[in-house]
């Protein structure tokens, strides 16, 4: 494909990109703050995964296998960051669960570490001292909450209260639908009696 | 439906066995066998889909049910819809075909009135929306974001959704209209919406900061608001810190603006930053600590970015210095990381060096992440002054490092040793130690490199040989060590002959001991070594001969072809006496090239950080090792003024190298290429080399000092730098050659080496400081003509004494033209300022590719070019008389191939070539020269090609070449054409030099 100028790039002395304009079709490295979220138990069982960058199913299981191998083998009292394939993985262990988030190398690690803690606090508030079993039996709830916290790999809401309010509103909606359904089936049942 | 009763547990998993039961159930229901329609109750639908997700999450292949999950999205009721949305967004990625089916439903939900549905749809698009979504949904999402009737709940999702769409397709947001909107969005009071909007802003400014410059003061406002804790609701404080995430994001966004011009904004920002830098204390609560340090580190990088005042900078370095010594691992990690970043930015290296011991301690940390950072930092901060310490630390660490790090570690140690070696013997020591300690991780590149250096530096050879001999005494040595020592001893073992234990037969027996333990690839090296040992043994030693021959005999029938061949050939050769000597003569010097190690490192670590290190590395004297031992050669003026002797002379071992000085530097010697890199490597003639000549740098370099400064009176602002050789001649020689000297004066030599491929060219400028004082304020600027694209890598500001720096120059030819690029070059030595305008030999003929055509190929093409403007004819008079073969040679020399025998008239020449440029692509060019045997000063030429400009330019080019043939060796060519300046004129001063008509002309063009 002929282009006189394929792309325009402005980079500062510090290596920061100031301007990019692509005229040829280049595939770019996925730009996302958090590439994926991963919850693994100490036994290496996956408890939750959420992918913000496109990974195929095959890549997903490979990533999980590789990362849980690295993270589970790290001793205590080490730092919470791992460098992995050009990315950084921020992880933190809560009881028997490891919460991991994958970010770009240049990103702020501590910030992400606190997003993890923020998420755990919200889970804790929702379930009332959360434990691994809560997440096994109600893994869909964990997804709902995560979706209220992160979208597109970016933090959406930093207030615990707001998230809690939204989740309980959702629960009410589901309950209402259920009641409605059961009342309809009652009516049908009574009508057919 | 009876069979599904087993799955009445609500989305749970009890015991491992259940997976099989209910995955079977789910598969049956969803497996595309038409059963899904029978799953009637919404509850069951939900349940199956959830289970599918669970199976998927556990890592099993879920290739069924995607359709069903997507179909749930269009369910009318909230619970099903919610499940549909969430499962779809977890199960599929943006490239999945099923997603396209859902676009319409999703859009309806987004533009619909139902807020909860809007939220679900926005979340899905935000998480997995691809290009298709960006095209069809962006306007709707924008409307939601700025709508005043929407609740914050929807708007913050819309902001992030838009961010996703923007990432997928930057055209989704129209810059012109959106910049004002974005500014308004930053006035938002609700911190949830503000957080999301700031994320959006970060993505937007990272792409185009200019359009959003009105957002800059707003970001500062947000920071002020948070820092003063004004108007921040309680729920948005995190452990007492007003939304640390928002603070980080706002500072991130600010880092995308190059500077802050408005003084009052700058002032208030610096107040905030000062407050953060000063006010962050280490507290007990881990989370509070993390959050406040997240803000602090972001502030640090913002300060670094803004190039704040010195005071603030040193405050930052002090903070980092504190961090790298704390116990908390996260902080220490980040301290090291940020220090590495700091290295590249400002001149704080000396301050950082104070922390060297602390950083080295971190190299022994139990945490691999921290060790990696420490290694990176050490690698980055290493320079000539501390290379010895750092490399020795790395070597020491190598024996305890874990396997995953050893390769990187050994590579880095090797690179540092190569780049910053204070002397060459130290370099050899380091590499040998490296091989000894971590042989498995030493790639072939590393030992090839050490062999190259030893070969190219004669004074190093005896030392290397004796070191190699020492290592052989060890009981168990690594195979790589066997390879290196065998190679070195084979080549230079004879230099040790007088030392005890180093006679040829002793060397043979100690090497032969290793033979049973090595693998097949090493055996050929050993065989060569034996042959070389044998060759060097004069007079012949029948006993050794017998032993070696026995070995050769043994391998004559080896199954490995390489070994067999060598054994047979060496055996036969070794009986031949004189021929044997010739064949096995010492290896010639290697042409200098970019270190393969550094190249490898570039490939391995292609990240922003690393490349900045690279950048810095380029500014260092990149060829510290080419700078050979500066010991003066018997007090004579350094042989720099004489273009150093062609290597071929030094190569043939027997010949003395006294003939060198009268060889014209411009004579197209085939070895000039290898010479180029070594002009500053003051090589002691082989005869002078004694085995002891490997002292550290600087010993006895006194007579040298006289050189540069004695010529020019100090303190005088002079221009009288005498140019060595003729610039114009050098240029013309370089037009026909790919390497040589472009410019030389008593202090500096600029060499050039070029490679051409199609319309691309890669030149490397070698700037060699010949004096014993550093050259400062070195500047090189390319003035490119319109038809060339040139890119010169930055040239370091200072060239240390006797160092050579390389500076690659990328050339791309856009269209045919005879214009010439000019290098505007200047430097300062003490008080003398020297400048020169030099033409770069990236001329038309460099983009030609020789091509020989047969008559069947030539004539159809020739006829196809019908006449002007594609085919031009001209009678040229005043041509320098040349015999036909001579003229043919001239044509061939500028890559226009003469096709002999095509033209029936023996007085005519027919030539063809291919021209490359970006606009024309590869273009065939044809030419015919008709000479007059009676009058050799005139001829008629016809030039044709598929491009009118090219035809014209090529014709003019050939004409120029014919009228004056500006070869250095033909100094008396009458300068007939204006294009070539009188070649004999020696510009006496830089002022005159700037007046060099050719350079001026080229500059004007």
For residue range A106-122, what is the model confidence (pLDDT) as tens digits? Answer: 888 898 999 999 999 99
> Of the given ranges (B128-142, B343-357, B559-573, B803-817), which has the lowest mean pLDDT?
B343-357
B-contacting residues of A 9-48, CB under 8 Å? 12-20, 31-33, 45-48
For B885-904, the DSSP string reads: HHHHHHHHHTT-EE-TT-SS
B230-255 burial, b if ≥16 CB within 10 A, otherwise e? Answer: eebeebbbbbebbbbbbbbbbbbbbb
pLDDT category at B602 given cuts 50, 70, 90 is low
For residue range B293-327, what is the model confidence (pLDDT) as tens digits? Answer: 899 988 888 888 887 677 788 888 888 888 888 88
- CB contacts, 8 Å: B199 with chain A: 33, 154-155
Q: Are A117 and B153 an interchain contact pair (Cβ–Cβ within 8 Å)?
A: no
Round to whole Å and give the CA distance between B104 and B70: 12
How many A/B residue pairs have CB atoms within 8 Å? 207
> Of the given ranges (A94-103, B293-302, B367-376, B873-882), which has the lowest mean pLDDT?
B873-882
- CB contacts, 8 Å: B58 with chain A: 45-46
Q: Is B672 in contact with B646 (CB distance < 8 Å)?
A: yes
pLDDT value, residue B524: 85
Q: Which helix (H) or strand (E) holds B792?
A: strand B788-792
**Cα of A95 to nearest chain B Cα, Å:** 16
Residue B287 has pLDDT above 50, yes or no: yes
Q: Is pTM, for the whole model, over 0.80?
A: no
**Cα of B612 to nearest chain A Cα, Å:** 7
For B556-605, the DSSP string reads: TT-SSHHHHHHHHHHHHHTTSTHHHHHHTPPPPPPPP---HHHHHHHHHT
A58 secondary structure, DSSP code: H
Q: Does B602 touch chain A (CB under 8 A)?
A: no
Q: Are B203 and A161 an interchain contact pair (Cβ–Cβ within 8 Å)?
A: no
pLDDT value, residue B599: 61
pLDDT value, residue B791: 81
Q: Does B916 touch chain A (CB under 8 A)?
A: no
Q: Are B245 and A181 an interchain contact pair (Cβ–Cβ within 8 Å)?
A: no
pLDDT category at B712 given cuts 50, 70, 90 is very low
For residue range A174-191, what is the model confidence (pLDDT) as tens digits? Answer: 888 888 877 877 777 777
* A113 CB burial (10 A radius; 0-12, 13-18, 19+): buried
Residue B461 has pLDDT above 80, yes or no: yes
pLDDT value, residue A23: 61
Instruction: Copy the structure tokens of residue A28.
Output: 């770019």
pLDDT value, residue B1004: 40
Residue B776 has pLDDT above 50, yes or no: yes
A-contacting residues of B 355-374, CB under 8 Å? 366-367, 369-370, 372
Q: Does B114 touch chain A (CB under 8 A)?
A: no
Q: Are B160 and A151 an interchain contact pair (Cβ–Cβ within 8 Å)?
A: yes
Average pLDDT of span B455-465: 82
pLDDT value, residue B37: 64
Q: Does A125 touch chain B (CB under 8 A)?
A: no
pLDDT value, residue A122: 92
pLDDT value, residue B947: 84
> Of the given ranges (A4-8, A140-144, B869-873), which has the lowest mean pLDDT?
A4-8
Residue A16 has pLDDT above 50, yes or no: yes
Average pLDDT of span B363-384: 84
Interface test with B, best of A17, A79, A118 (most B CBs within 10 A): A79
Q: Does A1 touch chain B (CB under 8 A)?
A: no
Interface test with A, best of B45, B58, B59, B198 (most A CBs within 10 A): B59
Q: Are B167 and A31 an interchain contact pair (Cβ–Cβ within 8 Å)?
A: yes
The closest of B869, B818, B815, B873 to B842, measured between CA atoms, is: B818
Tokens 């992030």 sit at which residue?
A: B160
Q: Does B745 touch chain A (CB under 8 A)?
A: no
For residue range B957-980, what is the model confidence (pLDDT) as tens digits? Answer: 888 877 765 443 333 333 333 333
pLDDT higher at B831 or A170: A170
B-contacting residues of A 47-106, CB under 8 Å? 47-52, 54-57, 60-61, 64-65, 75, 77-83, 86, 105-106
Round to whole Å and give the CA distance between B739 and B671: 10
Helix (H) and strand (E) counts in chain A: 5, 9
Q: Does A133 touch chain B (CB under 8 A)?
A: no
pLDDT value, residue B31: 59
Residue in chain B lying closest to A87 (CA)? B607
A-contacting residues of B 126-145, CB under 8 Å? 126-128, 130
pLDDT value, residue A99: 92
Q: Are B93 and A51 an interchain contact pair (Cβ–Cβ within 8 Å)?
A: yes
Q: Does B804 touch chain A (CB under 8 A)?
A: no
Round to whole Å and give the CA distance between A114 and B291: 6
**Cα of A126 to nearest chain B Cα, Å:** 16
Average pLDDT of span B371-379: 86
* B634 CB burial (10 A radius; 0-12, 13-18, 19+): exposed
For B621-687, the DSSP string reads: -TTTTTS-----STTPPPTTSSPPPPHHHHHSTTS-SGGGGGS-TTS--TTHHHHHT-TTS-PPPTT
Round to whole Å and give the CA distance between B236 and B232: 7
Q: Which residues, 6 or more positions from B625, have their beta carbon under 8 angstroms from its beta carbon?
A: B418, B421, B424, B427, B453
Mean pLDDT over each residue of chain B, to the nearest integer = 74
pLDDT value, residue B36: 63
Residue in chain A lying closest to B246 (CA)? A158
Output phi, psi for B730, to 5 deg. Answer: -60, -40
Q: Does B244 touch chain A (CB under 8 A)?
A: yes
pLDDT higher at A12 or B119: B119
Average pLDDT of span B908-918: 86
Round to whole Å and give the CA distance between B59 and A60: 8
**Cα of A75 to nearest chain B Cα, Å:** 9
Per cent of chain A over pLDDT 70 is 87
**Cα of A8 to nearest chain B Cα, Å:** 11
Q: Are A159 and B246 an interchain contact pair (Cβ–Cβ within 8 Å)?
A: no
For residue range B145-179, what is the model confidence (pLDDT) as tens digits? Answer: 888 888 888 898 999 999 888 888 888 888 788 88
Average pLDDT of span B393-399: 82
Q: Does A156 touch chain B (CB under 8 A)?
A: yes
Average pLDDT of span B588-604: 62
Nearest CB partner across the interface for B157, out of A32, A155, A156? A156
pLDDT value, residue B592: 65
pLDDT category at B33 given cuts 50, 70, 90 is low
Residue B803 has pLDDT above 50, yes or no: yes
- CB contacts, 8 Å: A185 with chain B: none
Residue B576 has pLDDT above 80, yes or no: no
**Cα of A177 to nearest chain B Cα, Å:** 7
Residue B631 has pLDDT above 70, yes or no: no
Mean pLDDT over each residue of chain A, to the nearest integer = 83
Interface test with A, best of B18, B132, B256, B290 (most A CBs within 10 A): B290
Round to whole Å and give the CA distance between B87 and B73: 10
The closest of B382, B396, B483, B474 to B438, measured between CA atoms, is: B396
- CB contacts, 8 Å: B607 with chain A: 86, 105
Residue B842 has pLDDT above 80, yes or no: yes
pLDDT category at A98 given cuts 50, 70, 90 is very high
Average pLDDT of span B778-786: 81
Q: Which residues, 6 or more positions from B496, have their beta carbon under 8 angstroms from its beta carbon?
A: B462, B465, B466, B469, B502, B691
Region of B859 (left: φ > 0; alpha: ψ -120 to 50; beta: rest) is alpha
- Considering just the CA atoms, what is the radius of gyration of chain A in Å? 22
- CB contacts, 8 Å: A110 with chain B: 290-291, 293-294, 297, 330, 334
């Amino acid at each position: 494909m002929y282009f006189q100028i394929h792309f325009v790039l402005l980079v500062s002395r510090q290596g920061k990109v100031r301007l990019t304009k692509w005229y040829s079709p280049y595939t770019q490295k996925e730009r996302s703050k958090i590439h994926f979220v991963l919850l693994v138990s100490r036994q290496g069982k996956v408890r939750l995964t959420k992918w913000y960058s496109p990974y195929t199913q095959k890549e997903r299981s490979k990533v999980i296998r590789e990362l849980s191998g690295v993270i589970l083998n790290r001793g205590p009292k080490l730092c919470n960051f791992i460098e992995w394939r050009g990315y950084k993985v921020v992880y933190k262990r809560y009881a028997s669960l490891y919460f991991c988030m994958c970010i770009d190398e240049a990103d702020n690690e501590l910030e992400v570490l606190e997003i993890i803690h923020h998420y755990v606090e919200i889970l804790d508030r929702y379930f009332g001292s959360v434990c691994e079993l809560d997440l096994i039996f109600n893994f869909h709830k964990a997804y709902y909450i995560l979706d209220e916290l992160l979208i597109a790999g970016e933090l959406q809401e930093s207030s615990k209260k707001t998230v809690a309010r939204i989740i309980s509103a959702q629960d009410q909606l589901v309950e209402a639908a259920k009641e409605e359904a059961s009342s309809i089936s009652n009516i049908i049942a009574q009508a057919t009696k | 439906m009876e069979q599904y009763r087993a799955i009445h547990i609500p989305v749970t998993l009890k015991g491992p066995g259940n997976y099989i039961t209910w995955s079977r159930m789910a598969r049956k229901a969803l497996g595309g066998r038409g059963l899904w329609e029978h799953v009637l109750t919404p509850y069951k639908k939900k349940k199956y889909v959830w289970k599918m997700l669970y199976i998927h999450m556990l890592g099993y292949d879920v290739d069924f049910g995607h359709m069903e999950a997507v179909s749930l999205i269009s369910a009318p009721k909230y619970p099903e819809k919610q499940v549909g949305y969430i499962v779809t967004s977890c199960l599929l990625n943006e490239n999945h075909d099923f997603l396209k089916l859902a676009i319409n439903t999703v859009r309806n939900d987004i533009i619909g009135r139902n807020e909860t549905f809007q939220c679900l749809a926005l979340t899905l698009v935000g998480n997995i929306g691809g290009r298709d979504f960006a095209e069809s949904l962006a306007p709707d999402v924008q409307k939601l974001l700025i709508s005043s009737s929407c609740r914050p709940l929807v708007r913050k999702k819309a902001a992030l959704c838009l961010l996703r769409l923007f990432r997928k397709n930057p055209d989704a947001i129209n810059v012109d209209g959106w910049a004002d909107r974005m500014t308004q969005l930053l006035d938002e009071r609700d911190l949830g919406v503000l957080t999301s909007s700031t994320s959006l802003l970060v993505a937007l400014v990272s792409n185009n900061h200019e359009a959003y410059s009105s957002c800059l003061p707003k970001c500062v406002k947000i920071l002020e608001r948070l820092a003063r804790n004004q108007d921040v609701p309680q729920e948005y404080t995190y452990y007492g810190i007003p939304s640390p995430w928002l603070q980080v994001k706002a500072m991130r966004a600010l880092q995308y603006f190059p500077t802050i011009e408005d003084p009052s904004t700058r002032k208030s920002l610096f107040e905030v930053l000062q407050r953060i830098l000063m006010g962050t204390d280490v507290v007990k609560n881990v989370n509070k600590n993390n959050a406040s340090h997240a803000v602090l580190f972001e502030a640090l990088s913002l300060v670094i970015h803004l190039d704040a005042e010195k005071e603030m900078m040193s405050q930052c370095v002090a903070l980092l210095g504190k961090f790298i010594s704390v116990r908390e691992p996260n902080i220490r990690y980040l301290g090291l990381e940020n220090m590495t970043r700091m290295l590249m930015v400002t001149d704080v290296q000396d301050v950082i060096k104070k922390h060297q011991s602390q950083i080295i301690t971190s190299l022994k940390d139990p945490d691999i992440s921290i060790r990696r950072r420490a290694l990176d930092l050490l690698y980055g901060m290493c320079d000539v002054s501390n290379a010895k310490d750092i490399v020795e630390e790395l070597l020491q660490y190598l024996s305890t490092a874990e396997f995953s790090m050893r390769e990187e570690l050994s590579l880095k140690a090797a690179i540092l040793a190569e780049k910053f070696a204070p002397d060459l013997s130290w370099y050899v020591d380091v590499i040998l130690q490296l091989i000894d300690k971590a042989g498995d991780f030493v790639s072939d590149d590393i030992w090839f490199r050490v062999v190259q250096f030893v070969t190219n530096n004669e004074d190093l050879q005896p030392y290397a040989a004796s070191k190699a001999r020492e290592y052989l005494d060890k009981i168990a040595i690594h195979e790589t060590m066997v390879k290196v020592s065998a190679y070195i001893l084979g080549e230079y073992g004879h230099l040790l002959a007088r030392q005890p234990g180093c006679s040829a037969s002793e060397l043979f027996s100690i090497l032969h001991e290793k033979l049973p333990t090595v693998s097949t690839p090493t055996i050929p090296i050993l065989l060569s070594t034996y042959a070389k040992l044998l060759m060097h043994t004069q007079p012949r030693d029948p006993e050794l001969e017998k032993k070696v021959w026995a070995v050769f005999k043994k391998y004559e029938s080896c199954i490995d072809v390489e070994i067999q061949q060598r054994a047979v050939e060496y055996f036969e050769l070794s009986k031949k006496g004189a021929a044997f000597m010739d064949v096995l003569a010492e290896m010639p010097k290697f042409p200098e090239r970019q270190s393969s190690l550094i190249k490898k490192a570039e490939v391995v670590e292609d990240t922003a950080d690393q490349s900045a290190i690279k950048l810095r590395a380029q500014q260092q004297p990149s060829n510290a090792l080419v700078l050979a031992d500066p010991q003066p050669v018997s007090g004579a003026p350094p042989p720099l003024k004489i273009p150093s002797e062609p290597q071929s002379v030094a190569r043939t071992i027997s010949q003395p190298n006294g003939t060198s000085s009268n060889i014209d530097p411009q004579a197209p010697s085939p070895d000039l290429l290898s010479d180029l890199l070594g002009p500053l490597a003051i090589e002691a003639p082989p005869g002078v080399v004694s085995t002891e000549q490997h002292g550290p740098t600087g010993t006895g370099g006194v007579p040298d000092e006289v050189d540069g400064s004695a010529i020019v009176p100090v303190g005088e602002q002079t221009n009288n730098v005498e140019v060595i050789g003729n610039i114009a001649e050098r240029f013309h020689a370089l037009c026909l050659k790919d390497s040589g000297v472009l410019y030389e004066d008593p202090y500096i030599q600029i060499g050039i080496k070029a490679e051409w491929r199609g319309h691309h060219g890669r030149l490397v400028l070698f700037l060699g400081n010949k004096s014993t004082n550093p050259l400062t304020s070195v500047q090189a600027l390319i003035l490119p003509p319109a038809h060339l694209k040139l890119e010169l890598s930055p040239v370091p500001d200072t060239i240390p004494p006797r160092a050579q720096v390389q500076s690659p120059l990328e050339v791309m030819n856009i269209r045919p033209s005879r214009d010439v690029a000019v290098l505007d070059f200047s430097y300062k030595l003490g008080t003398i300022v020297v400048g020169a305008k030099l033409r770069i030999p990236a001329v038309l003929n460099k983009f030609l590719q020789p091509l020989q055509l047969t008559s069947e190929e030539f004539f159809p093409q020739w006829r196809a070019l019908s006449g002007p403007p594609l085919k031009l004819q001209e009678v040229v008079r005043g041509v320098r008389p040349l015999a036909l073969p001579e003229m043919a040679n001239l044509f061939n020399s500028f890559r226009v191939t003469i096709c002999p025998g095509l033209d029936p008239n023996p007085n005519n020449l027919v030539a063809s070539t291919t021209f490359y440029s970006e606009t024309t692509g590869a273009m065939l060019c044809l030419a015919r020269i008709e000479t007059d045997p009676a009058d050799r000063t005139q001829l008629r030429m016809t030039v044709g090609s598929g491009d009118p400009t090219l035809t014209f330019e090529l014709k003019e080019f050939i004409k120029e070449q014919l009228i004056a043939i500006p070869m250095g060796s033909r100094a008396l060519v009458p300068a007939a054409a204006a294009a070539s300046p009188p070649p004999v004129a020696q510009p006496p001063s830089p002022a005159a030099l700037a007046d060099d008509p050719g350079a001026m002309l080229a500059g004007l063009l």
